Amino acid sequence: MQPLCRDHPQPQSFDRVLSSMCTRPHPDAVAAATEFLTTNPGDPMTYQSIAKIESKAVNLLADIVGEPTATGYITSGGTESNIQAVHAARNRSATKTPNIVAPESLHFSFNKAATVLNVELRTVPTDEDHRADLTAVENAVDEDTVLVVGVAGSTAYGRVDPIPELTDIAHRVDAVMHVDAAWGGFVLPFTDHAWSFAAGIDSLTIDPHKFGQATIPAGGLLVRDPSLLDELAIETPYLESPTQATLTGTRSGAGVAGALAAMEALWPHGYKETYERTMYLAERLETELSTRGFETVTPHLPLVAADIPRELFTALRSEGWRIATTADGTLRIVCMPHVTQSLCESFLSDLDRLRRA
C-alpha cells in the first residue's frame, strides 16, 4: 500500500507509552473496523447491518456490567457518554436551575457537559484515599440536583468511589446516579469493588476503546431504564430512521464493529488475563518505586502514582517516555494492555540511570 504522503509521521508506537488510557487494539477489532469503515450507525434503518452489530455490542457491554437488560449505545468515547448522561438527567428533571454533584476526581468531560448543557457543576473534595467524601456529597446535593457522579476507576489514581452509598444519596433527592467506569469498566468485573448496575445505579459510562482493546472511537453509554435514553431522542426528518438519541449524527461504524469484535474475542477470559497481568505489573512497579524512596499511592486498579522530582520527570520525557502527572504533579503510570514486564524494567533502568546522573 502506498503511504498517503511521504512526510506523514509514522502510526503511533506504544513502545514507551505509560500515560495513555488507550492501548493497542486487538487484531480482530482492527479487521472489523476496517470492514465497516463506510457504515453509519447514526442511520440504523439505512445501515441495517451495523445497527445489528451495535445492538449486539450493547448487549455484550450489558453482560460485562452484570445487567443483561441494560440498554444504550456505542458513543465516540467517555466524553460523549458523560455529556449524554448529564443531558438525559437534565432533560428528565423539571428544575430550571439544575446542578450535578461530583467528586473532584471527576474526569474533565463533566466540565464540558456542564458548560454545554448550562448545568451547575458542584465538585466536592475526596477523602485521604482519593475517593468521594460521602459527607461532602451529602452536603452538596439539594432538590435541584439532577445527577450524582461516582467514578469507578479514576483517571488520576484509579480509585473506585463508594458507589452504593452515593446511589442512596442520589436517590434520596430523586437524582440520577451515574457511574463513570470509562477506564475501569473492563477490569472491574474481576475485582471485589461494588461499581455496576448491581449497586443500584441508573447510568454508566464504559469505554471499549480503553481497557476493552477496541479501535478508537468506541465508548459506551448504558442505562438501566430505557426511558432515560428517551430523554435524549430527537426527531430526524430526513433520515429513514425516525429518531436519534446520540450526540453525534453520522458516526463511525468502524468504532462500533471494532468494539464488538474486541469484546467477542476477549470477554471474559482475555479481559481477566489482562487484568491479572496489568495489576501484577502495577503492584510490582509500586514496590520498585517505593523501594527507591519515592512516595507512592497503592494501586487499586492497574495504575500507579508516585511523587518523583520534577527534573527526573522531565529527563524521562526527554528520553522519549510518554508519561504524565496528576493535577497536583504526581507521576501516574497507567498499566494498559500494551505495557509489559520488559517495558517496566526498561523504564526503571532509565529512571535509575537518570536519577544518578
Residue 155 near residue 296 (C-beta atoms within 8 A): no
- Residue number, 82 or 294, with CB nearest to ligand PLP: 82
Complete DSSP assignment for 226-241: HHHHHTT-EE-TTSSS
Per CB under 6 A, 207 contacts ligand PLP: yes
According to CB under 6 A, which one of 41, 42, 72, 77 is a site residue for ligand PLP? 77
CA nearest 121: which of 94, 103, 134, 139? 103
SS3 at position 203: strand
C-alpha cell at 266: 476477549
User: What is the nearest approach in angstroms of ligand PLP to the Cβ of residue 336?
Assistant: 11
**Piece in contact with ligand PLP (CB under 6 A), picked from 75-83, 87-95, 166-174, 187-195:** 75-83
Per CB under 6 A, 252 contacts ligand PLP: no
DSSP 17: B
According to CB under 6 A, which one of 23, 84, 123, 155 is a site residue for ligand PLP? 155
**Piece in contact with ligand PLP (CB under 6 A), picked from 148-156, 158-166, 281-289, 322-330:** 148-156
Per CB under 6 A, 79 contacts ligand PLP: yes
Q: Please state, in angstroms and rounded to a whole number, the distance separating the CA atoms of residues 40 and 80.
A: 17
User: What is the nearest approach in angstroms of ligand PLP to the Cβ of residue 21?
Assistant: 4
Q: Please state, in angstroms and rounded to a whole number, the distance separating the CA atoms of residues 301 and 193.
A: 10
Per CB under 6 A, 183 contacts ligand PLP: yes
User: What is the nearest approach in angstroms of ligand PLP to the Cβ of residue 167?
Assistant: 18
- Residue number, 23 or 39, with CB nearest to ligand PLP: 23
CA nearest 109: which of 149, 74, 138, 72? 149
According to CB under 6 A, which one of 17, 21, 29, 223 is a site residue for ligand PLP? 21
**Piece in contact with ligand PLP (CB under 6 A), picked from 38-46, 72-80, 234-242, 347-355:** 72-80
- Identity of the amino acid at 266: L
Q: Please state, in angstroms and rounded to a whole number, the distance separating the CA atoms of residues 131 and 105.
A: 8
According to CB under 6 A, which one of 219, 220, 299, 337 is a site residue for ligand PLP? 219
DSSP 131: S
Per CB under 6 A, 40 contacts ligand PLP: no
CA nearest 212: which of 53, 343, 25? 25
Residue 290 near residue 87 (C-beta atoms within 8 A): no
Which parts of this chain interact with ligand PLP (CB under 6 A)?
A: 21, 77-79, 82, 107, 109, 151, 153, 155, 180, 182-183, 207, 219
